[in-house]
Amino acid sequence: MKQVPEVKVMANILLARNLATSLGGSSRALSPESDRIRFHQIRTRAKAILIGGQSYRNEPYSKLSLPLYISSRTLSEGGSDSQFIFNQEPAWLIKRALLEQGCPVLIEGGVNFISSLITQSLIDLLYITRVNQDGDGHFFDESQLLKNYERRSIEIIDGASFESWRVKLESSD
């Protein structure tokens, strides 16, 4: 019997029909109301949020009530009481956040940040929202997702597709 592992690392990503993750520089322009509701439901389960420097610069994270861990090669290391900036790889940032905040931690992007973790199978539970609209930037390559993960559920709400994906489990036959 396959045992489902504990969820330590969750991620959430929004994909346009053409696999773009942004429109006009932000994911917000692609996000329908049903996605915003789901986004906040997922966030309530997290102990900390992890993002890359580009997401930090382009998305609204100033009023976040959770600890925010940022991986950036261009921002200065440091931060505040609730925002922590490191010049480290995303995998290192996950270990640090889990150690300091507990689990689960939630990765909210961007596409390069999440893609590197999908390649390493470091995300336990990945939420994908697919919208029937094209974006114009930050394109997602699904090849590693399809290689390392399997879709566990899909739900259609107001034309948006909400999927959950888990790392492919080894068969114990």
Domain-by-domain residue ranges, the chain? 9-167
CA 166 vs CA 12, 75, 118, 146, 153: distances in Å: 12, 32, 10, 11, 10
Categorize the per-residue pLDDT at 141 as very low, low, confident or very high, splitting at 50, 70 and 90. very high
* Dihedral in degrees, nearest 10, Cα atoms 26, 93, 144, 150: -100
Q: What is the reported pLDDT for 78? A: 80
Per-residue model confidence as pLDDT tens digits over 93-130: 999 999 999 999 999 978 889 999 999 999 999 999 99
Per-residue model confidence as pLDDT tens digits over 8-51: 999 999 999 999 999 998 888 899 899 999 999 999 999 999 99
Rounded Cα distance, 74 and 57, in Å: 11
Q: What is the pTM of this model?
A: 0.89
Asked if the model's pLDDT at residue 59 lies above 90, the reply is no
26 DSSP 8-state letter: B
Asked if the model's pLDDT at residue 79 lies above 80, the reply is no
Q: What is the reported pLDDT for 76? A: 86
28 DSSP 8-state letter: G
Which superfamily does CATH assign the domain made up of 9-167 to? Dihydrofolate Reductase, subunit A (3.40.430.10)
Categorize the per-residue pLDDT at 172 as very low, low, confident or very high, splitting at 50, 70 and 90. very low
Q: What is the reported pLDDT for 28? A: 85
Q: Which of 41-45, 51-55, 84-88, 131-135 is predicted least confidently?
A: 51-55
